[in-house]
Chains A and B, each alone.
Chain A
Amino acid sequence: DSGVTQTPKHLITATGQRVTLRCSPRSGDLSVYWYQQSLDQGLQFLIQYYNGEERAKGNILERFSAQQFPDLHSELNLSSLELGDSALYFCASSVAGTGNHYGYTFGSGTRLTVV
């Protein structure tokens, strides 16, 4: 157990729907990062939050949004889902806003299947 908790582990939904993925960072970590991993593209950075504020943005679609709450857990909202959004979504956390010696600590991911 890495200490980063992601729920749900699996999610199957239809095209056009909206889903919310949840992440609780490791205790003491202030930064949360969201990554998408698809078979052909590897890990793609989506967005980072640090202590409740957006810190960095990557290749995140306008249909996707995220937030980090006062208790530091984070949610990734995916709307108007398309088949191509099917992927593993990982949350990672770190103490600082810039990562640390150990890089990130990753959760076990949420597998999203859009049918």
Chain B
Amino acid sequence: EDQVTQSPEALRLQEGESSSLNCSYTVSGLRGLFWYRQDPGKGPEFLFTLYSAGEEKEKERLKATLTKKESFLHITAPKPEDSATYLCAVQPNTGNQFYFGTGTSLTVIP
């Protein structure tokens, strides 16, 4: 069964304190792994797509990496405006739907 697990559920960081969010997945065949950012009361906003193990993508203070079993979202020197829920989703080779994890709620304290 296709499944996505994110950890931790919640993370509080001091401004400037780097850390990583984890997304573990089980899928029959991976078409793509997606990271989204969701602010309260809003729809998820696309961040990255990763397709194969070893791939890395960067955007400002965020870097996403992918292995065969998990993905990490590294946050370097975070700022308060990085506070949001970060969602991971996988799209298997078979079928069209995405499977989302329950997210990591990140709070960055000034």
Which residues of A line the B interface, CB within 8 A?
A: 2, 4, 31, 33, 35, 41-45, 48, 55-56, 58, 90, 92, 97-99, 101-109, 111
Whether A48 contacts B97 in the complex (CB less than 8 A), given A42-B103, A99-B32, A103-B36, comes out as: yes
A103 pairs with B43, CB closer than 8 A: no
CB of B75 within 8 A of chain A? no
Give complex CA distance A109, B41 in Å: 8
Whether A33 contacts B97 in the complex (CB less than 8 A), given A103-B36, A103-B49, comes out as: yes
Smallest CB-CB A-B distances: 7 pairs: A106-B43, A42-B102, A43-B100, A103-B34, A45-B97, A56-B96, A106-B44
Which chain B positions have C-beta within 8 A of A56? 95-97
A45 pairs with B103, CB closer than 8 A: no
Which chain A positions have C-beta within 8 A of B87? 42-43
